[in-house]
Amino acid sequence: MSQVYEPRHTAVLLVDPYNDFLSEGGKVWPHVESVAKQVGLLDHLRSVIAAARRTGIRIMIVPHRRWEPGDYETWDHPNPTQRAIMKRHSFARGTWGGEFHPDFQPQPGDVVAREHWAQSGFANTDLDFQLKQHGITHVVLIGLLANTCIESTGRFAMELGYHITLVRDATAAFLPEMMHAAHELNGPTFAHAITTADELAAAWCISPAARTA
């Protein structure tokens, strides 16, 4: 990679790391399992997080709204994803499915943003405020889903002036075609870099900024 990431100005945005998405028995896991296993999602999420922690790059968790009884029921225009959440109660608050995967629990120094209601981690949350307060200019997006929350968060970040990196194999979607759209068709219209977990970790390890941070 030719990109340079200064650790003090870089954050990994870990989007929606819930058991319902990432764990066997999760409500949404059956929909992402095939693509997730094909790209090695869990291992690559672990490797990006581990490399970030070694390098001193901040982790920010960007969680979806945890479903509660009554959510969306009186809304005029719930979107299709919200309608699906109403039906299957994804990420329900107070349940195992609404807890973060055990490998991606917040650690001291991590930031957990306020929960987003739809797809962008910025809309109606404090994510932009948190990033600015921590001096972040470069964001690396990982988590789920590639063509919804990752893309929406990335596009919003671009509009706010951040440098955006997408990681092909540290995300997943319901179908390979959705992954293709996210990284080959849509991603290049807003992301400054589209890479893999191994390439990113290697860049962080050899970066002069990382060595001197």
What confidence tens digit (pLDDT) does each residue in 41-88 have? 999 999 999 999 999 999 999 999 999 999 999 999 999 999 999 999
Q: Which residues contact 210 (CB under 8 A, 6 or more apart)?
A: 5, 7, 55, 56, 204
pTM value is 0.95
pLDDT digits (tens, 9 = 90+) for 1-48: 678 899 999 999 999 999 999 999 999 999 999 999 999 999 999 999
| List of residues 6+ apart from 59 with CB closer than 8 A | 11, 12, 14, 49, 52, 53, 106, 107, 109, 110, 111
Tell the burial category of 188 from Cβ atoms under 10 Å away from its Cβ (0-12, 13-18, 19+).
exposed
Q: Which domains does the chain have, with CATH numbers?
A: 7-212 (3.40.50.850)
Q: What is the pLDDT of residue 1?
A: 65
pLDDT, average across residues 199-203: 93
Tell me what pLDDT residue 208 has: 46
Res 210: pLDDT: 44
Smallest Cα–Cα separation from 88: which of 30, 44, 175, 157?
30
Give the pairing type, strands 138-144 and 193-195: unpaired
For the segment 101-139, what is each residue's pLDDT rounded down to a tens digit? 999 999 999 999 999 999 999 999 999 999 999 999 999
